[in-house]
Structure formats: structure tokens, C-alpha cells
Amino acid sequence: MNLSRATCIPRTITAIIVIVASLLSSCGYSNLDSPARSSIVLWYSTNGVRERILLDLIDQWNVTGHGFLVIPEHIPVDTYHKRVLEGSARGALPSLMLISNSQAAVYAKGTIIVPLDTFMADGGGDQASAFSATDLKDFFPFVLAAGRTPQGLTFGMPQGGLGRIMLYNLDLLRSLNLKLSQAPDDWETFGTTCARVSDPSRGLTCMQLESSATTLTDWLLTGAAKLVSASGEYQLNSEFGRTAVDRLRMLLSNGQAYTGADAATLVDDFASARSLYAFDWSDRIPVYKAAVKDRDNFEIGLGNLPNRVSGSSKEQANLQVQFAAPLWSIARGDRRSQTMAWKFISWMLSASVSSKWSLATGDVPARRSAIAGAESIFPGVAGAIAPVWQMVGTNAVAMPLLSGIPCTSEPLAAALRGLEDVSRTTADILDSAQTAALAQLDTDCATP
């Protein structure tokens, strides 16, 4: 979404209002009970299309008479954490912050942000901003879980989010004569499809993976189980964890899966029918669909990595999609400013605003009803991505709000980089990763 002259005009008006309010205050008119002069500050580090739609929506809020202004301030990613710590020490925090899960975990531990549970229940005294039972049912599960601690307190709520999902070439899958109408949900059949389709001499492979360790970590999280249980305990070395990693090791050793592909190569190989499966973020699905339409024009299926072992009675309860998104959080401070901050969050998480956000960004909307709202605004655009939103929203698994999670990335990545070491068992690799990661939990580790 590009900033147009039309969107710049209200932003200019907002700036003028803020300047006038500041001048009036300096002249002795400091009574903030006047709605026209009340304001709260938002710190954010979002960039690109998400920053543009955020500023557009703030403009809409500021010019439509909600009683107070929201003043956005962009804080660079590499200085955000330092600014928050400095602001906390000086008593100069903003009322509202848009932060990562890991930042929220550290700030909750340090009492820099406050729980949202009472605001959700009573709107901070403004019942119109509270969430009803209908609202809570309308939210996708990840929205209520993403900012919740293992102790059950909610310190943040996401505007929307992305999920890692698997695309597959349905035409190619059907041609394998395995009587499959969708991607297999057990690892044994998945491996059979990989064996049948892979042919290095013709440049055909089962799956390409990005070279980053993040992709491999996502594979583990998505195909195995949640990295951290609801009680805040690591659970890497489970039956499904070992099975998922064993499959990955087998695919790599047999030449049926390759790491090292960049984002463009992933799309090109899949669209050209050189790989059966692709594993990527949900907002990139339209890119894949456009590329496929321009190339082989085959039917695309959407799913996830297998969630069971053939013949095992210990199946995972549900398909799981690895999820990521920043969170709305409220800083400690006076109750009036906190209530205003909550009122803005409540508005941002309304169905109509959620629809606009997702149409602009490709993020899965916070609410189920927002999908229908998006389809009514842009039927063609929303219709193409709505099945993805529905699948990711229903199955997205959010990490519990637990400090130290980012610091576990490197030990996990280091362990996963040793997957091709045939002298080590999968259980040994996962045990090493878990031991190293556990040492980092509950540390003050925050990344944007």
C-alpha cells in the first residue's frame, strides 16, 4: 500500500493539532481533560508495508474524533530495547508499545508493561472497549495465547501474524499413483512421495529449504511439537520431535531435500515443478500462486508437515503452524493513559480494522469475522488468500511469553547444523540442543 496525497493530508492535520496542543499547554493551558488536547505516545519499530498501514490507521483514528490523539514514534530496531530501558529508568515510557514476543517477556518480568486481562474484561472502566464473550470467541486462538505467560497473565496481543505452512504441487502428487488427494499426514507416506518424485539427474527434488538455521528450527517446531510447553518447559526430545528430525536427516542424506536455497529459488523451483513441496511463510503464498500461474499453472495444495507416525496411537491433537507476530502492550504509568492505550488497542483489534490490516500486509487477521470483512472489501484479493488465513489462524501455535527464548536460538541452530553428522543419533542431537537452550531460559534476552 503506497502513501498517497490523500493519506498524507490527515497526517499533516494530526501534526498541526499536536503542535497547537503543545503550544497551548506551554502557555498554561495544560488541562488534559479536553479531548482535543489529550494524547498518548506509541513506540514502534515496524517498517515497510506494516508501518505504512499502521500510520494510515493512526491517521484515521486521529481525524475521526475518538477523544484523544495517538502520536506514533518510530524507534529503530537496534535501539528500541535500549530506549525502553532508559525510559523505564527515567519514568519516561510511552503509553503504548508494539513489541516482539521476546521483548514483551523481558518487559513483563521487569514490570515495564502491565497485564491486559483486566482491560480485556472491563475496558479499564470503559466498557465499550472491553471484549465480550462473542469477541473472545471471534479471535483466533493465537491472539489470546501469544502474549500469555505460563502463569496465565496476558501482557500483549498481536494485530495479526504469519505462519509457516507447506505448499504442494497437487497435480504432481496425484501423478505418483499413491491415491493421494492431499499431502500425507504421516511421515512414512511423506517419505514415499519424496522417494518417488526425487530424480537428481532431472533436477527434481522433494523439497528445497532455505539455508538459514531458522528454517530448520521452524521445521522442528512445526513438524514436532511446541518448543516450550504451556508450563514453560522444553520438550524437544519427544517422539514427534525425534521423528520429524529423523525424516529431515533422511531426506537430506538421500538427496531428496536440499538446503541453501534463497527465497527466489524456492519459488522458482516450486513454480517450475522441480520440487513437490515448499515450506514458507503464509504471506508469500500469493507470490507462489502468481509464479505458478505464469509457469506450469498446476493446482496448489496447502497443508503442513506430517503430524503423526504411521501406526502410532500417540498422534498430535491438531495440525500445528509455527506463528510469529509483534504484540500490542501497555506500559506502566497513570491509569488514564493506560485506559486510552487500551481503547486504541481494542479499536485496532476490531473486525473492520483487522480486515484492513490483513488486506494491506497479508497477515492472518486477528478475528475470524475479519476474513469475511476482507472478502467484502476486495473479493478477488481476499478470496485468494482467505483459505490460508483460515488454516493458519485456526492452527497457529504461539510460544508462551517466557524470557530467554531468543537466546535459545543459537544453541538450537548449532545442534540442527549437525544433522548430517551420521555419528550422532537424533536423540543425542536433541538432548544437546535442549540442554543448551534450557541454560538460556528466563534470562533477560530481548530481540525485536
The x, y and z cell numbers of residue 117, run together, are 486481562
Question: For 351-394, what is each residue's pLDDT tens digit?
Answer: 999 999 999 998 999 999 999 888 888 877 666 788 889 888 88
Written as nine digits, the cell of 37 is: 488536547
pLDDT of residue 13: 35
Computed from CA positions of residues 61, 64, 68, 72, in that sequence, does the dihedral angle turn out positive or negative?
A: positive
Which tops the pLDDT comparison, 427 or 319? 427
Assign domain 5-159+326-389 one CATH number from 2.40.70.10, 3.40.50.920, 3.40.190.10, 1.10.3090.10. Answer: 3.40.190.10
Task: State mean pLDDT over 204-213.
Answer: 73
Which own/partner pairs from 117-126 qualify as long-range (CB within 8 Å, at least 24 positions apart)? 117/153, 117/154, 119/330, 119/338, 119/339, 119/342, 119/345, 120/154, 123/339, 123/342, 123/343, 123/346, 124/335, 124/338, 124/339, 124/342, 124/343, 125/339, 126/339, 126/342, 126/343
Average pLDDT score over residue span 335-343: 96
pLDDT at 12 over 50: no
Evaluate if residue 215 carries a pLDDT over 60.
no
268-306 pLDDT, tens digit per residue, is: 989 999 999 988 888 888 889 899 988 878 999 888 777
By residue count, the chain amounts to 448
Closest C-alpha to 302, from 164, 108, 439, 415: 164
Which CATH topology does 162-322+404-438 take?
D-Maltodextrin-Binding Protein; domain 2 (3.40.190)
The whole-number pLDDT of residue 186 equals 81
Q: How far apart are CA 389 and CA 142, in angstroms?
A: 12
CA distance linking residue 10 with residue 362, whole number of Å: 25
Q: Which of 320, 322, 312, 279 is nearest to 188 (CA)?
A: 312
pLDDT > 70: percent of the chain: 73
90: confidence class by pLDDT, cuts 50, 70, 90: very high
pLDDT value of residue 237 = 63
The mean pLDDT of 185-214, rounded to a whole number, is: 81
- Model confidence band, residue 234 (pLDDT cutoffs 50, 70, 90): low
* Stretch(es) of the chain classified as CATH 3.40.190.10: 5-159+326-389, 162-322+404-438
**Total Cβ atoms within 10 A of residue 331:** 23
Identify which has the larger pLDDT, 183 or 120: 120
Do 43 and 80 form a contact (C-beta atoms < 8 A)? Answer: yes
* Among 117, 57, 60, 105, CA closest to 81: 105
**Per-residue pLDDT tens digits for 36-71:** 459 999 999 999 999 999 999 999 999 987 889 999
Residue 375 has a pLDDT of 82
Answer with the residue of higher pLDDT: 439 or 180: 180
Q: Is the pLDDT of residue 403 over 80?
A: no
Secondary structure (H, E, C), the chain: CCCCHHHHHHHHHHHHHHHHHHHHHHCCCCCCCCHHHCEEEEEECCCHHHHHHHHHHHHHHHHCCCCCEEEEEECCHHHHHHHHHHHHHHCCCCCEEEECHHHHHHHHHCCCECCCHHHHHHHHHCHHHCCCHHHHHHECHHHHHCCECCCCCECCEECEEEEEEEEEEHHHHHCCCCCCCCCCCEHHHHHHHHHHHCEHHHCEEEEEEECCHHHHHHHHHHHCCCCECCCCCECCCCHHHHHHHHHHHHHHHCCCEEEEECHHHHHHHHHCCCEEEEEEEHHHHHHHHHHHHHCCCCCEEEECCCCECCCCCCCCCCCCEEEECCEEEEECCCHHHHHHHHHHHHHHCCHHHHHHHHHHHCCEECECHHHHHHHHHCHHHHHHHHHHHHHHHHHEECCCCCCCHHHHHHHHHHHHCCCCCCCCCHHHHHHHHHHHHHCCCCCCCCCC
| Stretch 314-327: mean pLDDT | 64
